[in-house]
Amino acid sequence: MRYAMGALVEEYEKQGIRWNGKLVLIGDSMGGEVMSVVSEKLFPDGVILTEPAAYSVYAHHVKFGKRHNEEPVFGGDDGVIRSRKPDDSFALESIGKYMGKTPKGKVLVVEFASDRIVGKIPQDYKASAEVVDSIRTSHLLTKGEHGATPAEEVETIKNFVKSL
């Protein structure tokens, strides 16, 4: 991470763009789960979770695209199969830990009202962050399909980043 950040900062400086020192992680869908877990280790200034998913701890031990003992499958002909509830996801706990360990860190959760893919999971992330600090937790409930990026979401993300 340090190498990547150093290379990125150097590349932008060559283009005349200075880094303000703020680190913001953003994750969409499955990437939301990943960013939640990573945030607990990197302590960014902000975390943005758009339509974040959460997977059972059992899902982390399943080979991609393979079915085994009715555990979740990612991709393949069967798509995403959830045979277990994500209530024990590492990510839901991690976002709360991030908030607790990062006194100035903020979280933005974007949720689509009719998202059939992740359902109520964004609300679970929001609740986990709000338990620690509701003032540093933002939430956008908007219209759209999973994977869409409506203008309201873009504007909310821009304003969130400016607030850091």
User: What top-level class would CATH report for the domain 22-54+89-162?
Assistant: alpha beta
Nearest alpha carbon to residue 35 among 46, 24, 27: 27
Q: What is the mean pLDDT of the chain?
A: 84
User: What percent of the chain has a predicted confidence (pLDDT) above 70?
Assistant: 81
Instruction: Indicate the Cα dihedral angle 48, 146, 62, 91, nearest 10°.
Output: 30
- In the three-class reduction of DSSP (H, G, I as helix; E, B as strand; rest coil), residue 3 is classed as helix
Supply the pTM of this predicted model. 0.82
Provide the terminal-to-terminal Cα distance of the chain, rounded to the nearest Å: 21
114-131 pLDDT, tens digit each: 888 788 889 999 999 999
- In the three-class reduction of DSSP (H, G, I as helix; E, B as strand; rest coil), residue 158 is classed as helix
- For residue 85, what pLDDT is reported? 61
Q: Is the pLDDT of residue 72 over 80?
A: no
Rounded alpha-carbon distances, angstroms, from residue 72 to 48, 49, 58, 79, 160: 25, 22, 8, 10, 33
- For residue 149, what pLDDT is reported? 92
